[in-house]
A and B are shown apart, each in its own frame.
Chain A
Amino acid sequence: MAEPRDVFIVCNNTDTMGGLQRWAHHMARLLSARGHSVTLVGVHHAPEPHDYGPDDAYRVVTLYEEWKSPVLKWRPRTMTARLDLAARRRDHRRTREMRKGADRLTALFAAARPGAVVIAAQIWAMEWVALADTTGLKVIGMSHESYGATRRSSRYGRVREHFAGVDRMLALTPEDADAWARDGMTNADHMPNPLHVSPGRFPTLGERVVVCVGRLSYEKGLDMMLEAWADVAPRHPGWRLRLYGGGPQEDELRERAERAGIAGSVEFRGVTADVEAALAGASIFALPSRDEGLPLSVLESMAYGLPSVAFDCAPGVRELITDGADGTLVPPGDTAAFAAALGRLMDDPAARRTMGARARESVLRFHPDLVLDRWERLFALLHRDPGAIPVQIGRRAQVDGEFPAPLPEGAATGPPARNEEILGVDS
């Protein structure tokens, strides 16, 4: 057992219904079980909190009841925008508000034992960590999506800005970490999501059901799923497509299914809490996403021994599914090939069984014990030599050996820690 540490996991919020929050609570539980003292920090509360059943093993802290200021820092692009006094005032208020939250973080961090670690799980939450005083702690930034997804979004600039200075920036897969490294982030490394389910029962693989689990939104590509289904379903009577999850595209998708004449074989099951029932009742798992990080849904389905068909849309998907062994990878957007891959598995129960068995075996790479070992190795690596204090030696250095006095790292950033009461501890 590695030495016990204080670990802070900082997220945008800890109580929204979502993959990241599930990951955060799971990680907190796993780390606590190994004797670490974990604090889960959310910047604000969710409007509709989801109960992750926090136990006494770790504490949950929320910085604000509600975040009322603008979400992002004000960055005027044009001269006229710069004259916008209202925006300037709002931004000023935002900075002031942020400072309050950062001060609370500073107080939390100051109370930590030596060897503590801060994990900023999201880039927005990182803005508070960056503002807080992290002297003596190591800061780890995380990107829970593929490099490509970040690159295409407005988050890219913020990731470059706020994660450049952290001690380690973790992507989900080696391929994503390499992409960040090529892009100049020399602190890039990778850390997979730990497997978070332990199946109680397994599918028979005899049910004529294809299952899809995920939000009904554009990125999840269910429109492409329905297109492929319209192609394959008529040739496979009796097979059903079950979609679990809700989202903005639901009405549009229902209409699309209706138009394609497949409404009879497509079931919209809505959001479910019982993933086991959903997966154990199916024979094939389909992932038609346009973009993914390291999809938890595939981890789950593999743990349940389902063969998968997925678009090869991101490194995380390639990392999980080995094409031809435990699933099929299809070129992104090629719905005909997606339908053909589904058809092959529908026709061949034996192939489903071999692939499913391989999936169950392969997913053990992400067993919590292995992933946690990796985390602890990383903590140890970052805290290799706690006594050393880095020294800045600049150009001003003189030949006669006069150097500026050593400065503790981060002394210039953040305010002096205030010894205030830690308020608002949820649990």
Chain B
Amino acid sequence: MPVRPDVSVVVIGYNDAARLPRAVGSVLDQSLGGVEAVVVDDASTDGTGELADALAAQHPHRVRSVRLPANSGGCGVPRNVGVEHARGRYVMFLDSDDSLDRHACLNLLAAGEESGADLVSGLCTRILLDPRRDRPSKERAWYPWLYARRAVYSGLEDNPNLLYDTLSTNKAYRREFLEDHGLRFVERLHYEDLLFSAEAYLAAERTALIPHRVYNWYVEPKAATAPSISNRRAELANFADRLEIHRRIDALFRLRGAYELKRAKDAKFVNHDLLLYLRDLRDRDTVYRAGFLELAAAYLAELEPRVFAEANPVPAIAAFLVRERDLNGALAAAEYGRGKRLELRTELREHDGRIFWGTRRADSALARRVLDVTGLGLHQRPLREMSLANTITELRLRGGRAGLEGLVLNPLERVPARAELAATLELNDRRRPTRVRRVPATVTHEGGRIRWRADFDPRERLRPYGLADPVWDVRLRLEVDGEEIVTRPGEGTGGGAAFDGVVLPVRPRLTRLAADGARSYVTDSGHLAFKLEGGGRLTRATMAAAQWAARTGAGRRAWAGVRRTERSVRRTLTSRKTKIAVFNRVLSRLPVRHGSAVFESHLGKQYSDNPKYIYRELRRSGPPVKAIWSYESSARGFPKDATLVRRGSWGYFLALARAEFWIDNQGFPDGIRKRPETTYLQTWHGSALKTMGFDQPALKSGTRGQRQRLRRMVDRYDCFLVRSDHDLDTLVPGLGVRSELLPAGYPRNDPLVSGGRGDPELAAELAALRERLDLTGDPRRVVLYAPTFRSGPDGRPVRALEPPVDPARFARELGDDLLLLVRPHYLCTVQLPPGVRGTMRNVGNVPDVTLLLLLADGLVTDHSSIMFDYALLDRPMVFHLPDEVELGRGYFDLAEHAPGPITRTEDELLAELSVLAAGGDPGAGRRHAFAGRFGEHDRGDAARTVVDRVFRGARTARRTSRETSRKRSPRGRAS
């Protein structure tokens, strides 16, 4: 009964008998009934054609086989032939090495019938097969953001991003649609998909997308050996083909007058196609590189220069430099951002107050625009977040000792010459991230470079197990004034020495039968790594035997089991869940260390805020207390006379378990139970404007579990610091605080009340900060801009903060009288070009805002609770709210109570600032009314009051806390 099938799947194959059954099987296994497979064999020589015939004979109505008389050398001819033989209402394409999802045809057909689309497209997933079969393959969706939800487009103009998905295979085409528009694949050119999909998108009156996975694209692991010379020549021809296809697509767009789409496609070429080729270029020889550069530069020269502005910034740099025939610069740009690694492999240059990529002069307007990377913020990003190229200049073995030498890039002299430097070379077992061997390294500052050198005996230092830890990565940890930069030695900026093929002698713990050397090689990302190998005959034999055993079925299973267990044990031992369980069951039963206190500010991000000022008061006048400070990632800036523990480490949990006091301003980890002997002082970090705790919409609409979690955390408090009656009406009920309330004011505000007088330590800190910010001797008035974060459409904080006024305009109009310090909220960052340093400075890296408040002659802010603190200084404040619609939400009506004028536009803000610049005081009346209403408990002695109450009265406090906690425990468990 030859009824017309709903879908015909054209399966093409060439010399792929091994995988063809999987592909055809995936068609026959479709959940949709009426699907036929048309297998087109491109004149294979391995029996693929015979296999196709056999399949057709076995499934007469569902599989048909077509055999081409001569090989076509591409995918175009067989697909076109397949379309001619297809009888279905819809046509799909499948390659013999891939497969369809079981429901692919049903989903595409249903979407096609529902939307009446000519072309229906679904998600394609790349399955990266692991070369070693004992490991699972990885899956990567192909442009998943295009396929986030179902959509119907009435033309390519509706969504030009469709051009990113250039596959022809994850789509179903209406047969009549193909015929009406004469859509066929171009023959005798590679990358026929690109042209075909572009033509199809353009021709389709309706294109439907579904988020369902329809196509499995199996990606074989990269061949270990380098391609042969003939292959390389063929590859260059491939690239020429790709450019030819792009030229034809360009012609197609031009023919249709679709210039917008053409530019979208050009941007995609820069963002995607070119980048892929550039990243592959590292393995190629100079002849190939030269040929490639010639072809690519010629094509890029044909494109409109606007493409460099429309493509993503860093790929645009790569493309621009290819056009300028600067291959090294282009490669550095192509590597930046690869696999989320932001390794900087190029110098930077500051010119006219902007930062430029590379050292070449930006001699045209276009070059200046493209190469300007001020927006990346490389001139002010904290050093520990930078990843700098590390070029190996020497790797040798002499007298049994390994000598390793290299240069770390120091762009813009971010590491100053006077900095204190130290370095450690690390060898790291790739399979076990925590297993590290350390070797001391010497380091010298050479201006734009930092030279390092390490010399060690590999037999002593590198003690691998053997067999189980075959690969060792190399890192150089550079310490700059206590701040750490991690770099990976390797090719770096290019021009270093060759460093592969050096064999270091090693002594594995499983004796030398397991390995006797570690051979250096270049990883995919261009870094140095060592692989264990056997040099001697006996070692080679045992290693081969071990590898053979690991490859047998039983060996593979056993080995996989061992590794799985090892991984899970390691994960379990280091997981937070385990630490919390151990905390509650074991650590908190250890004896309390009397007089020990754990301090934490903003979850360990800073040494700042109330905990800092309590700590200082304790040190100055309080009883002897063993202080432990928690830091999140870097210990820089934390007090040297305290014990420092990394937040989340075992040491941290141990310190918390045994501490007599907990002091923090946000929250210690959820889940750990505070023991009754410990007194927990929650200082909080500011009066509330936004809704807090149970008053937040997210928590109101949240699950019971979320509410119980907050309840648990808050019920741990023994003492809660309150700075005004406003807190009693808002914060305390919002968080549901049921502990003792301590109306002492905020210790961090003591200097604001006293103006910093009578505190030599603070005066010294202030002077140092003034020096650091270049304020000494500057006659201008200082204004601090310190807004809170804004929430984006997804409800998460918007990371990037913009300066409130255009820096150039600010410099022009007020630059002689005012200096603006910009301080983003600690969740945000701000990018200021270096050229505005004269009038605007980024103070985001100053941890303690109290010092900044003391420095500032005026404050510009918004809904930030900083206004409550600054009001104590009785200095002018301006409220800049450019895009706020409603002011009255939360606990506080800013329009009614703001202690200063509110500005909505840049002009209004500049007008208020010019009053300030002239020595005026905008909004003094409002400020006084505000201070009268909200500044109640701050009298300048908060730190002393807290120390007296919590630490001196520790015994009484402990007793009461034990009683209350016992009383509270049943209630604490209920919500």
Contact = CB atoms under 8 A, between A and B. Distances in A.
Interface string B187-215: 00000000000000000000000111110
A332 B701 contact: yes
A336 B704 contact: no
Interface stretch (B50-58, B73-81, B527-535, B671-679): B50-58
A107 B33 CA distance: 25
A224 B700 contact: yes
Nearest to A187: B103
Given A333-B702, A399-B51, A401-B51, A390 B29 contact: yes
B124 to A, nearest CB: 12
Contacts of A390: 28-30
A395 B103 contact: no
A383 B33 contact: yes
A288 to B, nearest CB: 9
A63 B847 CA distance: 67
Interface string B878-889: 000000000001
Given A335-B700, A381-B106, A401-B54, A391 B21 contact: no
B704 A218 contact: yes
A404 to B, nearest CB: 11
B699 interface: yes
A186 B215 CA distance: 11
Contacts of B699: 333
Nearest to A331: B697
A175 interface: yes
A393 B701 contact: no
Q: How large is the interface on A (under 10, 10 to 19, 20 to 34, 35 or more residues)?
A: 35 or more
A290 interface: yes
A391 B25 CA distance: 7
A6 interface: no
A391 B28 contact: yes
A385 B701 contact: no
| Interface SS of B by simple majority | mixed
B701 A184 contact: no
B55 to A, nearest CB: 8
Contacts of B267: none
Nearest to B62: A388
Central interface residue in B21, B148, B214, B704, by most chain A CB within 10 Å = B21
A399 B17 contact: yes
A200 interface: no
B32 A384 contact: yes
A174 B59 CA distance: 36
A221 to B, nearest CB: 7
Contacts of B617: none
B47 interface: yes
B303 interface: no
A397 interface: yes
Nearest to B46: A399
Nearest to B151: A178
A67 interface: no
B22 A336 contact: no
A386 B697 CA distance: 52
B698 A333 contact: yes
A392 B29 contact: yes
Contact of B101 (A186, A290, A381, A395): A186
Contacts of B28: 390-391, 393
A24 to B, nearest CB: 25
Contacts of A279: none
Nearest to B104: A186
A290 B109 CA distance: 36
Contact of B50 (A174, A177, A384, A401): A401
B213 A391 contact: no
Nearest to A403: B58
A53 interface: no
Interface string B211-233: 11110000000000000000000
A159 to B, nearest CB: 16
A186 B22 contact: no
A391 B29 contact: yes
A384 B17 contact: no
Interface string B682-710: 00000000000000111111111000000
Contacts of B30: 390
Interface string A182-220: 101011110000000000000000000000000000100
Nearest to B109: A381
B110 A399 contact: no
Interface in B40-86: 47, 50-51, 54-55, 57-59, 62
A302 to B, nearest CB: 22
B648 interface: no
Interface string A82-106: 0000000000000000000000000
Contacts of B34: 384-385, 388
Contact of A182 (B148, B696, B701): B148
Contacts of B703: 152, 290
A229 interface: no
Contacts of B166: none
A381 B105 CA distance: 11
B910 to A, nearest CB: 34
A10 interface: no
A394 interface: yes
Contacts of A184: 213
Contacts of A189: 107, 110
A258 interface: no
Nearest to A166: B31
Interface in A354-392: 381-388, 390-392
B102 interface: yes
B701 A224 contact: yes
A224 B31 CA distance: 46
A369 to B, nearest CB: 17
B33 A392 contact: no
Nearest to A290: B701
Interface in A388-415: 388, 390-395, 397, 399-401, 403
A313 interface: yes
Nearest to A386: B33
A397 B19 CA distance: 10
B24 interface: yes
B149 interface: yes
Interface string B97-120: 000011110110110000000000
B570 interface: no
A387 B5 CA distance: 13
Nearest to A175: B149
Nearest to B6: A384
Contacts of A323: none
B384 interface: no
A334 interface: yes
B361 to A, nearest CB: 48
Contacts of B966: none
B29 A336 contact: no
A182 B28 CA distance: 24
A182 to B, nearest CB: 5
B563 interface: no
Contacts of A227: 700
A415 B703 CA distance: 42
Contacts of A400: 54
B150 interface: yes
B403 to A, nearest CB: 50
A277 interface: no
Interface of A: 152, 167, 174-175, 177-178, 181-182, 184, 186-189, 218, 221, 224, 227, 290, 311, 313, 331-336, 381-388, 390-395, 397, 399-401, 403
18 contacts: A152-B703, A174-B150, A175-B149, A177-B150, A181-B210, A186-B101, A186-B102, A186-B214, A189-B107, A332-B701, A334-B697, A381-B110, A384-B33, A385-B33, A388-B34, A394-B21, A395-B21, A399-B17
CB-CB nearest 6 A-B residue pairs: A385-B33, A401-B54, A333-B697, A333-B701, A393-B25, A332-B701
Given A336-B889, A388-B33, 10 more contacts: A181-B213, A182-B148, A182-B211, A184-B213, A311-B701, A390-B29, A393-B21, A394-B21, A395-B22, A401-B57
